[in-house]
């Protein structure tokens, strides 16, 4: 398979917010939110045509403030939530709201990156998540397997459970919990578990990770000093219950079994600066993606703690003797990791995601001071893994190529 050039899409403003359009399972589509203090902010709807290796886009105005987090509804393609900064009475507040994009844009974009931006449209506000009594919003999470009617937001030291009413035009606070302890405790990030009927949420504050039961809104576990410094991000293994990944400012990525929290199951120390994000591959949970302000995205093969620690199981009659021998050799290989450089050491990679419909497509947001410094963002899986092609059957393919889309903002 020949090497393809990296796919790069430039943004006019800086950006830290990126999410796949979760409810879209047929097309490769991402939403990117910008951060600008002087101009109206934007949400870019990015469609990637993997057959022709091209990008199509549309731009929506987000006029209420700079976007710090964006998340898409798991059930409705046109609905999304943002956390954004706004100014009131000379004070900066981080608020959250639920929006709907224009109907004609829900299923894709047909505008090329070079087209004029004169067709820019505006998001429709559905409702605000009222944080007047709770403080600044840190993030908004949708119920992973739900109908798009339940959200959780983290606001300062409050965990807030919301029910969206009909047409998502009103959000009702149905339950809440608060951090209690010495000092001014504040949530920094969280993740809603797809397991246990979506009744568990993990949160991070400072160096501590906590688990919560959404039915009682009570704490069910607490990992104190999970990291030596601030915990930046969390993610649950999509295929293995109780397994949680975390990353932080101590440059480490840790994997936990929430039934035994005395020590991590495994620790990675591949990055040289703060690790901003960690993500499991939603189909192949041995693949873990991390992004750091050391300008690198690292894909690690964590097969020993995955749901298939002995490799993909197939019937004996499906493999020839030679293929069987090849499979055994690859299963016994040591874990590998692949590093993607996104610029100079001072250029941070803030966030990255896997595509919702294509498990081998990765997108990242990075701030590059000089776009000429982009290294080739192409890498190859040197393992021997089972991948599900778009619309195809499971097949064993060595050296499957991977692509990375870099959403770049030139930083002055």
Percent of the chain as helix, strand, coil, to the nearest 5: 10, 50, 45
pLDDT at 353 over 80: no
Contact 100, 78 (CB under 8 A): yes
Q: Is the pTM of this model over 0.85?
A: no
Q: Alpha carbon of 110 to those of 105, 119, 330, 366, 391: distances in Å?
A: 9, 12, 42, 25, 22
**pLDDT at residue 115, rounded to an integer:** 52
304 - beta bridge partners? none
**pLDDT at residue 329, rounded to an integer:** 41
Same domain, 123 and 260: no
**pLDDT at residue 6, rounded to an integer:** 62
As given in the structure block, the two tokens for residue 79 are 């609905």
- Mean pLDDT over each residue of the chain, to the nearest integer: 77
Residue from 312, 411, 310, 404 nearest 362 by CA: 404
Same domain, 253 and 129: no
The answer to whether residue 352 is domain-embedded is no
Mean pLDDT of 41-57: 86
288-308 pLDDT, tens digit per residue, is: 988 888 878 888 888 889 988
The answer to whether residue 364 is domain-embedded is no
**pLDDT at residue 314, rounded to an integer:** 45
Same domain, 266 and 301: yes
Same domain, 227 and 156: no
Same domain, 135 and 203: no
Q: Is residue 4 very low, low, confident or very high in pLDDT (cuts 50, 70, 90)?
A: low
Same domain, 137 and 12: yes
How many Cβ atoms from other residues are within 10 Å of residue 339's Cβ? 14
Domain that holds residue 61: 1-177
Rounded to the nearest 10 degrees, how much is the dihedral formed by the CA atoms of 382, 385, 390, 393?
Answer: 140
Same domain, 325 and 207: yes
Same domain, 135 and 262: no
Q: Is residue 225 very low, low, confident or very high in pLDDT (cuts 50, 70, 90)?
A: very high
Mean pLDDT of 399-409: 38
The domain boundary, picked from 147, 177, 207, lies at 177
Q: What percent of the chain has pLDDT over 70?
A: 70
Same domain, 33 and 71: yes
Q: Specify the higher pLDDT residue, 339 or 146.
A: 146
Quote the CA–CA distance of 347 and 338 in Å, as a whole number.
18
**pLDDT at residue 399, rounded to an integer:** 32
Question: In the chain, how many domains are there?
Answer: 2
Quote the CA–CA distance of 152 and 164 in Å, as a whole number.
11
Q: Specify the higher pLDDT residue, 50 or 261.
A: 261
The CA radius of gyration of the chain, in Å to the nearest whole number, is 21
The answer to whether residue 64 is domain-embedded is yes
How many Cβ atoms from other residues are within 10 Å of residue 34's Cβ? 23
How many Cβ atoms from other residues are within 10 Å of residue 117's Cβ? 11
pLDDT at 98 over 80: yes
The answer to whether residue 399 is domain-embedded is yes
The domain boundary, picked from 128, 152, 177, lies at 177
Q: Specify the higher pLDDT residue, 339 or 244.
A: 244
pLDDT at 140 over 80: yes
Same domain, 168 and 208: no
pLDDT at 139 over 60: yes
The answer to whether residue 285 is domain-embedded is no
161 - beta bridge partners? 152, 175
Quote the CA–CA distance of 155 and 150 in Å, as a whole number.
16
Classify 371 as helix, strand or coil. Answer: helix
Same domain, 228 and 313: yes
The answer to whether residue 291 is domain-embedded is no
**pLDDT at residue 183, rounded to an integer:** 80
pLDDT at 375 over 70: no
The domain boundary, picked from 136, 151, 177, lies at 177
The answer to whether residue 346 is domain-embedded is no
Give the up-direction half-sphere exposure of residue 31: CA atoms within 13 A in the CB hemisphere.
Answer: 33
**pLDDT at residue 333, rounded to an integer:** 39
Same domain, 301 and 243: yes
Q: Is residue 356 very low, low, confident or very high in pLDDT (cuts 50, 70, 90)?
A: low
Mean pLDDT of 49-54: 80
The answer to whether residue 132 is domain-embedded is yes
Contact 59, 12 (CB under 8 A): no
Q: Is residue 385 very low, low, confident or very high in pLDDT (cuts 50, 70, 90)?
A: very low
193-214 pLDDT, tens digit per residue, is: 999 999 999 999 999 999 999 9
**pLDDT at residue 297, rounded to an integer:** 81
Residue from 168, 255, 258 nearest 212 by CA: 258
């Amino acid at each position: 398979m020949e090497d393809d050039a990296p796919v790069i899409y430039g943004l006019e403003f800086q950006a830290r917010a990126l999410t796949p359009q979760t409810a879209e399972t047929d097309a490769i589509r991402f939403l990117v939110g910008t951060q600008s203090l002087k101009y109206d902010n934007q949400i870019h709807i990015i469609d990637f045509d993997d057959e022709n290796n091209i990008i199509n886009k549309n731009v929506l105005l987000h006029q209420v403030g700079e976007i710090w987090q964006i998340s898409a509804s798991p059930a409705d393609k046109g609905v999304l939530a943002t956390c954004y900064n706004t100014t009131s009475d000379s004070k900066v507040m981080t608020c959250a709201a639920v929006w709907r994009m224009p109907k004609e844009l829900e299923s894709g974009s047909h505008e090329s990156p070079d087209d004029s931006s004169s067709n820019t449209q505006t998001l429709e506000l559905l409702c605000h998540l009222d944080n007047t009594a709770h403080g600044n919003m840190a993030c908004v999470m949708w119920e992973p397997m739900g109908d798009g009617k339940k959200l959780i937001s983290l606001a300062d030291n409050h965990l807030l459970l919301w029910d969206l009413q009909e047409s998502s035009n009103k959000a009702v606070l149905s339950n809440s919990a608060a951090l209690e302890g010495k000092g001014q405790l504040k949530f920094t990030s969280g993740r809603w578990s797809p397991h246990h009927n979506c009744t568990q949420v993990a949160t991070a504050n400072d160096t501590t990770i906590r688990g919560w039961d959404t039915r009682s809104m009570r704490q069910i576990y607490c990992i104190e000093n999970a990291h030596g410094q601030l915990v930046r991000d969390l993610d649950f293994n999509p295929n293995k219950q109780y397994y949680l990944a975390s990353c932080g400012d101590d440059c480490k990525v840790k994997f936990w079994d929430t039934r035994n929290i005395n020590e991590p199951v495994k620790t990675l120390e591949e990055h040289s600066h703060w690790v901003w994000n960690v993500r499991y591959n939603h189909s192949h949970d041995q693949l873990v993606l991390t992004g750091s302000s050391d300008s690198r995205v690292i894909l690690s093969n964590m097969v020993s703690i995955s749901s298939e620690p002995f490799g993909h199981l197939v019937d004996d009659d499906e493999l020839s003797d030679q293929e069987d021998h090849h499979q055994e050799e690859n299963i016994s290989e040591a874990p590998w990791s692949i590093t993607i450089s996104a610029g100079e050491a001072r250029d941070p990679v803030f966030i990255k995601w896997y595509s919702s419909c294509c498990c081998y497509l990765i997108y990242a947001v990075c701030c590059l001071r000089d776009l000429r410094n982009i290294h080739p963002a192409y890498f190859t899986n040197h393992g021997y893994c089972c991948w599900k092609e778009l619309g195809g059957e499971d097949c064993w393919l060595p050296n499957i190529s991977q692509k990375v889309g870099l959403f770049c903002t030139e930083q002055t």
